[in-house]
Structure 1
Amino acid sequence: MKTNLFISVIVSSLVIVALPAKAVETRCGWLHNPTPRNWYLIDKDGRWIISQQGGYEAQGMDNLPTYNEKEYVKTNGYYGYGCACMDVVTDSDRLRISEIRGGESLPLSTCRQDPNVPKSP
């Protein structure tokens, strides 16, 4: 009985070690918050869902970059967009950001001048 438990523990440990770690990647583009609790990052690869009102929400929302007024475009009262780079874990099959590890806001001109970033949202 002890042998079976010992083998089970070893096998479980090997499975945990064998699981791939989720890769953190840096993505830069327009961080868009058009309405309450709706957040997207729009970059060269598409429109990544960060959160949707009443539904999906990435882990680490408190790690979203903050903006000063000069580098933020208001499009709907308080809501709008800015330019940012974020360290994130993604689900590329669903174009979702699953976790936000950190990030920083950038001058609007950075995204406007980058040929890889789509025109502003």
Structure 2
Amino acid sequence: MISTGRRRQARRVALALLGSALVVSAAVAGPVRRCGWFQNPTPGNAWLVDRDGEWVVGLQGGHQAEGDWPVFSQARWVRTNGHYGHGCACLTVRVDAAARTVLRIDAATARPLSACRRDPRLPRE
């Protein structure tokens, strides 16, 4: 038979584990649709800047989100470093909200540059 003290301790441990699981699941959100500037200034480096801030998509030699990046036509891409640069896009993603990191891209669509240029919630190019 388990004593009352041990039962209380077991309940506390169970509640702590449940709380930890909820924090972890809350940190990984998605899928959510985020629209903004998709920036790819150099090989392997990319992020999405939307109305909520900057989301890391990939870092050269480090984190790389699973899934495909958006494909841009020449008319929807601003070159700033050879063929690297930025464009306007919507991504359906799963993110680690605490780390501001994109974990997986489920869908990615290039948009006209004018869509991001008109959006007052986005930073200027």
Question: TM range, normalised to the smaller chain?
Answer: 0.7 to 0.9
CA–CA distance in structure 2, aligned partners of residues 48 and 70 of structure 1? 24
In the TM superposition, what is the alpha-carbon distance from 1:23 to its structure 2 partner? 2.3
Does residue 80 of structure 2 align to residue 75 of structure 1?
A: yes
Does residue 70 of structure 2 align to residue 95 of structure 1?
A: no
Structure 1: where are the runs of 5+ without partners? 1-17
In the TM superposition, what is the alpha-carbon distance from 1:22 to its structure 2 partner? 4.7
Q: TM-score, normalization: structure 1?
A: 0.78
Percent same amino acid at aligned positions? 43
CA–CA distance in structure 2, aligned partners of residues 30 and 38 of structure 1? 14
Q: TM-score, normalization: structure 2?
A: 0.76
In the TM superposition, what is the alpha-carbon distance from 1:27 to its structure 2 partner? 0.2
Q: What amino acid is the match of 1:116?
A: R
1:23 aligned to 24, 30, 41, which one?
A: 30
Instruction: Name the count of aligned residue pairs.
Output: 102
In the TM superposition, what is the alpha-carbon distance from 1:68 to its structure 2 partner? 0.6
Say what the alpha-carbon RMSD is for the aligned residues: 1.8
Can you list the C-alpha shifts for 1:8-42, whole angstroms capped at 9, x where unaligned?
xxxxxxxxxx9868520000000000000001001
Structure 2: where are the runs of 5+ without partners? 1-20
Runs of 4+ in 1 over 4 A off after TM superposition: 18-22
Larger Rg: 2
